Amino acid sequence: MKDAAPQTIYLRDYAPFDYVVDSVQLTFKLTPTATRVTSRIAFRPNPATTTRDFFLHGEQLRLIGARIDGKSIDPEITSTGLRCDVPDAPFVFEAEVEISPDTNTALEGLYMSGGMYCTQCEAEGFRKITFYPDRPDVMGVFTVRIESDLPVLLSNGNPVTSGDGWAEWHDPWPKPAYLFALVAGDLVNQPDTFTTMSGRDVDLNIWVRPGDEGKCAFGMKALKKSMKWDEDVYGREYDLDVFNIVAVDDFNMGAMENKGLNIFNSSAVLASPETSTDANFERIEAIIAHEYFHNWTGNRITCRDWFQLCLKEGLTVFRDQQFTGDMRGQAVKRINDAVVLRAHQFREDNGPLAHPVRPTSFVEINNFYTVTIYEKGAEIIGMLRRLVGPDAYEKALDLYFTRHDGDAATIEDWLKVFEDATGRDLTQFAKWYSQAGTPRVAVSEEYTDGTYTLTLRQHTPPTPGQDHKDALVIPVAVGLLNENGDEVVPTQLLELTQAEQSFTFGGLASRPIPSILRDLSAPVILEHEQTSARRAFLLAHDTDPFNKWDAGRTLAQDVLVAMVRDGATPDAAYLDGLAAVLRDDGLDPAFRALVLALPSEDDTAQALVDAGDTPDPSAIYDAHETLKLHIAQHLQDLLPRVYADMTVTAPYHPDADQAGKRTLGNGVLALLARIDGGRQAAAQYTAADNMTQQLAALATLLKAGKGAAELAKFEREWQDDRLVMDKWFGLQVSCAAPDAAVQTAQKLTDHPAFTMKNPNRFRAVFGALAGNAAGFHHPSGAGYALLADWLIKLDALNPQTTARMTAAFSTWRRYDAERQAMMRAALQRIADTPDLSRDTTEMVSRILD
Ligand code: PHE
Ligand code: ZN
């Protein structure tokens, strides 16, 4: 069978399926290379459509036989599915197919990981399991029988019955095929229970491989907190008798919200103080919450088609961000989210991969699980909430849940509940979903006779396929300070709806100092020329924690740009401001750590691009190193004191307070190493009783060109722990000096524990290489060549992970002619690979165009 040329799918072509699924019965006879899947699906003609085309998706399936109403049929089979004539009345379709989970390295459909069977069906993986209308708007009630010798057999919904070598599950909630899941393995569980708000008891389990049972307790606590929070804050109750989570080592993404049976990348659920960092704990809590929250925003209300992906992802990210803010502190959470948004989403929105939060076309939907859909999608919801206020937001969400429960919904449905709940016209606001690119908002100010006028101008640069941009509704939170740092006008929400608009504030005693875009009230770039003195003033006095931090960040960025451009010495306003924050014991350590952290080298590259320069990654690296040395010297007297103050004497706990202290302590440790040559880092490494302290010390040593002994010791200590070894692989590459990074990565691929088949391990090495800016962009081009070599190899096994990682090349246009040519050549070499996957082909061609 010849593969058809990849097709582009368009939003405008949406049409419902011609048949409705009433029920689905599946039987799996599991064997590694010849699993038999039999299906019995009750269909009836869809009364809402007039055409009658019975096409079922199916890929890489060996059809054993098919029947309609008990009679054998001989359907037409292509590389994408099956078509046949069917009665114009309800009928039962049956099929038996054979599949080979053991050779499924793409990790999509049914596959094996460490001896267990597991599935990944979102977005279009169910079609690799059996013939089915594999689209989210076709929902059915599933009953599943699993036959296998393995002791633990799981699927969606509630357990029905089981016996020796088999188990049956029934999911009463109609669901699209992408939420189907099956797991079979030799697993152990951490059991617990949760009593819901209406008093129903739910059995909770986290299933892991034997040996990992000691790493489940934190995840279980996070799950129970998430269940409670969703009841308290959104009024959402869980709706099955059991909730299962399974940890899987080989997984392309973080985790998956399959109904009642969430499947997690083991890195996103397994945790212990000895093996996980504070950042790991925080991420695990957020991902468990995210997947759990999908039960309502994604599962009970799903998406009509994949163009509406942000309907579930944007909303669920927004909900998990709220949750983490409630658990760990809103201000620090908002800053962390802003760092990610700017570093990744703004970058995506500004390059060849820019796309609207609701795209209008795609070739491979897997390529659209992006920061734009997730993070910008969440920002849009945050803006809506700001614009209508928290009470109206709650009202609109209640309406959304009652009106659309059981639906496969659209963005129009979502916006309509806000319009109906608030009476607001959201026509202009809706453009946030269709218009790509990050808006820039330029600021000018005027002050006369007690009246202050703020003029805001919005402009969105063109993006691929979208030259013209309309004005958006941009909520801009503004407060005014006087020269003493008192807030004279508390935060107000301005609504910028025109290309240019002025806002006045009267009755002022003196010229105010504005604090604009507080809490990052919109995902936009603020263009506001300010002196470093004014930024230092805001760093010292702004009452909005986000803008206080952002003033420091902008100062640091300006310093770095000046250092790269003309070798300037760091501005004293910045260094003194930093010292004042660091010294201020009244400030949360986590917040102080954020102020102390520099923008990334990639951020500096972008700042230089914005200033009209061609960034040189080597020069940027040097400037960052020089600045860190200057900071260390300037703060020399303060650092030891702060480091000592951040000592945690209580037993390790991954809560926000302790974690904040460790983050600041470790930030200070890295600076101290520039003065003491790593003496304290070596001491911390030896004394550490938790991974956070151990890993930070090791990173500091490696960056100081030391730590060879510790690195070897670390390997001996942790060689049997897969997740810790991922850190060992990654750290060496991310901490390598620019001249050594490529060679380090290359050498690690020869390590016996390196494997391409495990995405975590592959990403540990090559994600770290792409993230080591000066190493990856080494003038020799060796970084580009090495990554391309390995992506080409990986594509044959795992297209999804390969395609995602090609994004490392997406900034090629920024650089000098030599680097551009080398990056283009690497991309072209990938593009020219025979039998390149559809996923990678689409990514590379978008990046090159
Ligand atoms: N839907 C998953 C999530 O956001 C992400 C995912 C997508 C996982 C595709 C696997 C495959 O939580
Ligand atoms: Zn999600």
| Number of neighbours of residue 163 by Cβ within 10 angstroms | 8
Check residue 477 and give its pLDDT: 99
User: Which atom of ligand 1 lies nearest, measured to the CA of 123?
Assistant: 9
The model's pTM: 0.99
Contact 657/700 with Cβ under 8 angstroms? no
Ligand 1 pocket test, candidate residues 253, 290, 292, most atoms within 8 A of CB: 253
Tens digit of pLDDT for each residue in 331-347? 999 999 999 999 999 99
Choice among 94, 291, 348, 364 that is catalytic: 291
| Residue 527, strand partner residues | 442
Q: Write out the two tokens for 702.
A: 């490696």
Check residue 4 and give its pLDDT: 55
Ligand 1 pocket test, candidate residues 108, 119, 121, 122, most atoms within 8 A of CB: 122
Instruction: State yes or no: pLDDT of 617 exceeds 90.
Output: yes
Q: Write out the two tokens for 740.
A: 């050594």
Residue with tokens 């267990």, as numbered in its chain: 116
Report the alpha-carbon distance of residue 614 to residue 618 in Å, rounded.
Answer: 12
Report the alpha-carbon distance of residue 121 to residue 128 in Å, rounded.
Answer: 9
Report the alpha-carbon distance of residue 111 to residue 181 in Å, rounded.
Answer: 11
Q: How many residues does the chain have?
A: 849
Instruction: State yes or no: pLDDT of 2 exceeds 70.
Output: no
**At 613, phi and psi to the nearest 5?**
-100, 165
Instruction: State yes or no: pLDDT of 712 exceeds 70.
Output: yes
Residues 6+ apart with CB under 8 A from 300: 173, 239, 401, 405, 406
Q: Write out the two tokens for 281.
A: 């704990």
Residue 842, CA atoms < 13 Å, CB-side half-sphere = 21
Full DSSP string of 691-725: HHHHHHHHHHHHHTT--HHHHHHHHHHHTT-HHHH
C-beta of 401 in contact with ligand 1 (< 6 A):
no
- Coil, strand or helix at 431: helix
- One-letter amino acid for residue 382 of the chain: G
Tens digit of pLDDT for each residue in 240-293? 999 999 999 999 999 999 999 999 999 999 999 999 999 999 999 999 999 999
Report the alpha-carbon distance of residue 212 to residue 304 in Å, rounded.
Answer: 38
Check residue 6 and give its pLDDT: 80
**Ion ligand 2: residue ranges with CB closer than 5 A:** 313, 316
Percent of the chain with pLDDT over 90: 99
**Which whole number is the average pLDDT over 123-138?**
98
567: left (phi over 0), alpha (psi -120 to 50) or beta: left
Tens digit of pLDDT for each residue in 184-201? 999 999 999 999 999 999
Report the alpha-carbon distance of residue 695 to residue 685 in Å, rounded.
Answer: 8
Distance 747 CA to ligand 1 centre (A): 32
C-beta of 710 in contact with ligand 1 (< 6 A):
no
More confident residue, 72 or 4: 72
Report the alpha-carbon distance of residue 440 to residue 343 in Å, rounded.
Answer: 16
Contact 112/35 with Cβ under 8 angstroms? no
Contact 94/88 with Cβ under 8 angstroms? no
Mean pLDDT of the chain: 98
Check residue 555 and give its pLDDT: 98
- Coil, strand or helix at 774: helix
C-beta of 303 in contact with ligand 1 (< 6 A):
no
Instruction: State yes or no: pLDDT of 3 exceeds 70.
Output: no
DSSP 8-state assignment for residue 103: G
Instruction: State yes or no: pLDDT of 168 exceeds 80.
Output: yes
Check residue 1 and give its pLDDT: 38
Report the alpha-carbon distance of residue 679 to residue 683 in Å, rounded.
Answer: 6
Q: Write out the two tokens for 287.
A: 């991902």
Instruction: State yes or no: pLDDT of 128 exceeds 70.
Output: yes
CA-closest residue to ligand 1 atom 7: 122
Check residue 427 and give its pLDDT: 98
**Of 766, 820, 814, 754, nearest to 792 (Cα)?**
766
Active-site residue flag, 291: yes
Distance 255 CA to ligand 1 centre (A): 6
Tens digit of pLDDT for each residue in 651-709? 999 999 999 999 999 999 999 999 999 999 999 999 999 999 999 999 999 999 999 99
Full DSSP string of 243-268: EEEEEESS-SSSEE--TTEEEEEGGG
Residues 6+ apart with CB under 8 A from 762: 755, 756, 790, 794, 801
Contact 420/392 with Cβ under 8 angstroms? no
Report the alpha-carbon distance of residue 37 to residue 109 in Å, rounded.
Answer: 12
Contact 146/837 with Cβ under 8 angstroms? no
Contact 761/773 with Cβ under 8 angstroms? no
Report the alpha-carbon distance of residue 292 to residue 255 in Å, rounded.
Answer: 10
Distance 291 CA to ligand 1 centre (A): 9
C-beta of 375 in contact with ligand 1 (< 6 A):
no
Task: Using pLDDT thresholds of 50, 70 and 90, give the confidence band for residue 447.
Answer: very high
Distance 316 CA to ligand 1 centre (A): 11
CA-closest residue to ligand 1 atom 12: 256
C-beta of 365 in contact with ligand 1 (< 6 A):
no
Judged on CB neighbours under 10 Å (0-12, 13-18, 19+), 754 is middle
**Of 742, 816, 817, 748, nearest to 785 (Cα)?**
742
Residues 6+ apart with CB under 8 A from 163: none
Contact 197/237 with Cβ under 8 angstroms? yes
First vs last Cα of the chain: how many Å apart?
A: 31
C-beta of 256 in contact with ligand 1 (< 6 A):
yes
Q: Write out the two tokens for 564.
A: 């790269």
C-beta of 692 in contact with ligand 1 (< 6 A):
no
Full DSSP string of 632-695: HHHTTTHHHHHHHHT---SPP--SHHHHHHHHHHHHHHHHHHHHHTTHHHHHHHHH--SHHHHH
- Coil, strand or helix at 239: coil
Tens digit of pLDDT for each residue in 537-556? 999 999 999 999 999 999 99
Distance 224 CA to ligand 2 centre (A): 18
